[in-house]
Structures are given as structure tokens and as C-alpha cells.
Amino acid sequence: MRHGESIANLKGLIVSSPEQALAGFGLTGRGSHQVTHAALNTRLDRETIIVSSDYRRALETAEIVQSVIDTISPVSVDSRLRERDFGEYELMDHSHYNEVWKHDVNHPSESKNSVESVIDTLARGLDVIASLDQQYRNKSILLVSHGDVLQMLLAHHQCINPRFHRSLSNLANADIRSLTKLTLANR
């Protein structure tokens, strides 16, 4: 699940550093409504394990979902689900995403302008999935994270080279997409 609309989304800013995102740039009122609506319309149930990025916008999203579906377990936090580090673009206009994504296609293992590479971002996302798979057998797990991290995981899941993560339909705010354990186990 991608977090609901955040203050950074509303302002059109790139916010990826812990210094900015751990305590700031939480959900807007609209973002909270998006998350509530998504949680009410999901098949997730009380047994669902929720694991979230520790960034405020994701954690607020996870806590709303937890409250709406009344999960038995509290929200777990995993910093490996943080937003991709956008380096020198921090607090700049979100139009710079296009430069990064263009670079991703041609140089997925390289960092430019201190932006975390596709390969490094995907690796930490896959590491989260692998560790959760070992810890929670046959459980539904909701990962609450950020656009690029989730786009890369979805690309990998669909056997698309992760450098083409933007070729997939964009995850909207509060969008939930499914990855099944069976599919991941067979990769």
C-alpha cells in the first residue's frame, strides 16, 4: 500500500530524508480519507500483519488501516521500507522525479545526484519481503511504503526489469496492490 496523500504530495515536494520525513510531512485530511476508504474496501482482515515505513506519512497510513480493520497485532515498523533516497533533490519540486526515472532506465545500478539506485532500492524491499516470509508463514501482510519502492517491487513481481518500474501504472495515494506468496516463492 502506498501512503495516503501527504503534505509533500500536496506541495509538490520531494521529501525522502529521515531528517524531513520521520516527524514532518504527514497525511493531509484528504490523505486520511483516502486511507480510510481503501481500508474499508479491502479484503484484509483482523489477522493481517501490517509493516510500515517509519516515515510519518506511511506510519499514519498504517495506523489508520490498523484502526479501521482492527488488526490483532499492532503496526510493525521497518526502516527498509523508507522512501527511496532522492539525494540532492530533497525538498525540490517533484518535477525532478522525471530526471531520476529517465536515469533509472539507462543506469539502474548507478547513483546520480546522490539518488539511491534502482538496484539498491529494490534490494532492501526484497530483503523485507524475504524476512517477513520467514517470520510469518501463511499470513496476509500489508506493507505500507512509498511510490518508487513499491513500483520496483511490483515490477520485480511481474518479471519486469525493475529499471522499467515506471512502465507500470502508477500507484495512487492509498493504492493497495497484491503480491501473493505463491508467486514470490516460485520466482
Question: Which of the two residues, 179 and 2, has the higher pLDDT score?
Answer: 2
Q: What is the pTM of this model?
A: 0.94
Copy the grid coordinates of residue 131.
Answer: 524476512
Q: Which residues contact 32 (CB under 8 A, 6 or more apart)?
A: 4, 60, 64
Cα–Cα distance for residue pair 145/52, rounded to 1 Å:
6
Q: Please, what CATH class does the domain formed by 7-185 belong to?
A: alpha beta
Going from N- to C-terminal start, the domains of the chain cover 7-185
Condensed to tens digits (0 to 9), the pLDDT of residues 45-74 reads 999 999 999 999 999 999 999 999 999 999
Residues in the chain: 187
Condensed to tens digits (0 to 9), the pLDDT of residues 11-46 reads 999 999 999 999 999 999 999 999 999 999 999 999
